[in-house]
């Protein structure tokens, strides 16, 4: 396997690993508290919808969009995702944002599940909807990452394999541990995935600006794919500078205009 193929496999593995941790936490919270059956039906339904969306999205992207449009749009979205993750990593490292804590997210899910009363007989709609929404939201990010990385590397199967290994790994850990997945260094993983998304996103979005010139040829990077390594170094150094300069304040974390809830944990 080439270095690029390994890179694709590792990138999709870690991206899917962290997203699956979040989805699993939500499903476990409603499953343990209310109804495993309804949570599983919600999860399965979300996976079916995701499969349909993936097929339609992938087909449309490969059939109807020229390469430079793909690079521009996909690169732009990946760059936004990656920079959001890096921003959060910087804010968390400097104590300006609470560390993403699966224990807390699990507990808030449990509290919300208990607050709506006891589970209905048959299909419990609360468990179904919370599981569906959690899996669908996190799954959409996984689908997006797999399709974009796979399409740009022209190797969707490897991207799918990386993602599938990530999902299975988390599910195995969850089945063995049977408790919230707080032991996984999620914040560190997200920082690493953020670096990859930002670097690949920067590479593709700048390539894609070639759409606006005569001939619509992509902008060529010096050293071609090798410049992605330079971009990883650039984003790593920039984030380390911010983390070093900001330091860790003595006071309690000041939240930066946002809150995290079990409803929206895609962070």
- Catalog residues that contact another protein under the rule CB under 8 A: 72, 76-77, 79-81, 83-84, 86-87, 90-91, 94, 96, 137, 140-141, 202, 205-207, 209-210, 212-213, 219-222, 227, 231, 234-235, 238, 242, 246, 256-258, 264, 266-267
What is the distance, to the nearest Å, from the Cα of residue 225 to the centroid of all Cα atoms in its chain? 23
- Which residues touch 174 (CB under 8 Å, ≥6 apart)? 24, 28, 181
**What is the rounded distance in angstroms from the CA atom of residue 265 to the CA atom of residue 145?**
17
Q: How far is the CB of 176 from another protein (least distance, A)?
A: 32
Least Cβ distance, residue 161 to another protein (angstroms): 25
The minimum distance between CB 78 and another protein, in angstroms, equals 10
Q: Which is nearer to another protein, 58 or 230 (CB)?
A: 230
CB of 267 vs another protein, minimal distance in Å: 8
Give the helix/strand (H/E) hosting 191: helix 186-208
Nearer to another protein, 96 or 104 (CB): 96
C-beta closer to another protein: residue 89 or 158:
89
Which residue's CB is nearer to another protein, number 178 or number 257?
A: 257
Minimum distance, C-beta of residue 21 to another protein, in the bound complex (Å): 18
- Which CB atom, from 191 or from 235, has the smaller least distance to another protein? 235
* 158-164 LR contacts (CB < 8 Å, sep 24+): 158/5, 158/8, 158/9, 158/12, 159/8, 159/9, 159/12, 160/12, 161/9, 162/8, 162/9, 162/10, 162/11, 162/12, 162/13, 162/16, 163/12, 163/13, 163/15, 163/16, 164/16
Backbone angles phi, psi at 133, to 5 degrees: -65, -45
């Amino acid at each position: 396997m080439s270095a690029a193929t390994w890179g694709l496999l590792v990138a999709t593995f870690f991206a899917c690993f962290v997203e699956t941790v979040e989805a699993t936490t939500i499903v476990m919270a409603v499953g343990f508290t209310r109804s495993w059956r309804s949570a599983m039906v919600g999860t399965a339904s979300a996976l079916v919808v995701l499969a349909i969306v993936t097929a339609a999205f992938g087909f449309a992207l490969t059939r109807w969009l020229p390469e430079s449009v793909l690079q521009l749009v996909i690169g732009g979205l990946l760059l936004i995702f990656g920079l959001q993750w890096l921003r959060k990593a910087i804010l968390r490292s400097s104590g300006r944002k609470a560390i993403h804590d699966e224990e807390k997210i699990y507990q808030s899910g449990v509290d919300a599940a208990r607050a709506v009363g006891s589970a209905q007989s048959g299909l419990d709609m609360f468990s179904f909807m919370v599981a569906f929404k959690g899996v669908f939201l996190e799954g959409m990010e996984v689908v997006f990452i797999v399709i974009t990385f796979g399409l740009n590397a022209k190797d969707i199967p490897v991207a799918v394999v990386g993602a599938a290994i990530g999902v299975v790994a988390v599910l195995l850990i969850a089945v063995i541990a049977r408790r919230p997945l707080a032991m996984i260094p999620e914040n560190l993983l997200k920082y690493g995935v953020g670096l990859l998304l930002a670097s690949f996103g920067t590479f593709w979005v700048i390539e894609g600006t070639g759409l606006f010139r005569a001939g619509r040829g992509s902008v060529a990077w010096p050293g071609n794919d090798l410049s992605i390594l330079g971009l990883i170094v650039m984003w790593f150094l920039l984030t380390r500078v911010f983390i070093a300069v900001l330091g860790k304040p003595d006071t309690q974390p000041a939240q930066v205009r946002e809150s995290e809830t079990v409803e929206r944990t895609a962070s």
